[in-house]
Amino acid sequence: MLHKKNKKLSRLIYNPNVEGYIFILPWLIGFFCFTLLPFIISFVLSFTDYNILEKETNFIGLANYIKLFTEDRLYLKSLAVTFKFALISVPLRLIFALAVAMILNRKTKAIPAYRVMYYLPSIIGGSVAVSVMWRNLFSKAGVFNSLLQLIGIPCEINWLSNTNTALYTLILLYVWQFGSAMLIFLSGLKQIPVTYYEAATVDGAGPVKQFFSITLPMLSPIILFNLVMQIINGFMVFTQAQIITNGGPVNETLVYVLYMYQKSFKYYDMGYGSAMAWILLVIIGFFTALVFKSSSQWAFYESETGASKQKKTRKERKK
């Protein structure tokens, strides 16, 4: 009996279709339990006034969404702050990343050491420790002001509690972590054949022309990938804003996720928070679609640039 059962079982687990599902089973379980189910719950909750502390939950239709856009001044503020943050910091981060990558794209022995220096901020940047450090860099008696004083510019501003500068200290922290984007660019630059530049030089193209006619087009798929990921990350900024300024001064740094966190986990207004989460998802989806849609205009795919990159771009297209 046992033998027969084993045989049946073994025939089952060696069936190619079953084998496939056995291997992707961990992901399938995770997908249903931790992604799809929460996804559906979130959608339903966004039409209710669910509060974890209260017993009663009412279906209130679109009231959360209407309230967000018509009554909730703070929400509109957080939306504006987040857009400002992302639209300034993402391009700056990518420009820095590309510029430094081009500078480091040389053959000298010191490159690995430089790479460490420029990449280190990316590795540690998301940690609480760095946020605490940043708080002390830009406080009134902080490092930044003291160094300014040292070179003869007396400065009494507390950069973090000044409504004009607070957000920029966060942007600076974000741009500071350009290292990972830089590494991606660096590996992209290495794949551009040197002969292209040589031919361009022979034809009399200067460095600027070469940059716009060779480097940028050849890197465009990588720029595209970076742009999408960085925009998503930019909208998700939380730790820094919560620790360095906690939304202040006068909500000048109240970024989206921070406000969502406050609503959902301080006031436990989770129906409302879910509505915010859904709008966030729509915004991110919109930006991602926009970048991919527009990419056919400016991203350049070439068949010679190596198998691995091609695969990546194909995957990007699938997404």
By CB under 8 A, the residues from 142 to 161 that bind other proteins are 142-143, 146-147, 149-150
Among 86, 104, 166, 167, binds other proteins (CB under 8 A): 104
Residue 314 CA to residue 301 CA, distance in Å, equals 10
Helix (H) or strand (E) holding 171: helix 166-176
Q: Is 257 in the site for other proteins (CB under 8 A)?
A: yes
Q: Is 308 in the site for other proteins (CB under 8 A)?
A: yes
Among 67, 77, 84, 135, binds other proteins (CB under 8 A): 135
Among 8, 11, 311, 314, binds other proteins (CB under 8 A): 311
Q: Is 278 in the site for other proteins (CB under 8 A)?
A: yes
Cβ contact 310:191 at 8 Å: no
Distances (CA, A) of 181 to 20, 113, 222: 35, 17, 9
Residue of 105, 315, 300, 304 whose CA lies nearest to 220: 300
Q: Is 266 in the site for other proteins (CB under 8 A)?
A: no
Q: Is 226 in the site for other proteins (CB under 8 A)?
A: yes
Could you tell me the maximum CA-CA distance found in the chain, to the nearest angstrom?
A: 91
Among 8, 11, 12, 30, binds other proteins (CB under 8 A): 30
Cβ contact 217:300 at 8 Å: yes
Candidate ranges 81-89, 163-171, 183-191, 210-218; the one touching other proteins (CB under 8 A):
183-191
Tell me which amino acid residue 172 is: L
Q: Tell the smallest beta-carbon distance from residue 262 to other proteins (Å).
A: 12
For residue 112, is the peptide bond before it cis, meaning its omega torsion is within 30 degrees of 0? no
Tell me which amino acid residue 281 is: L
Among 9, 62, 76, 128, binds other proteins (CB under 8 A): 128
Candidate ranges 57-65, 76-84, 126-134, 201-209; the one touching other proteins (CB under 8 A):
126-134
Residue 10 CA to residue 15 CA, distance in Å, equals 9
Q: Is 214 in the site for other proteins (CB under 8 A)?
A: no
Among 123, 155, 199, 250, binds other proteins (CB under 8 A): 123
Q: Is 9 in the site for other proteins (CB under 8 A)?
A: no
Residue 313 CA to residue 308 CA, distance in Å, equals 9
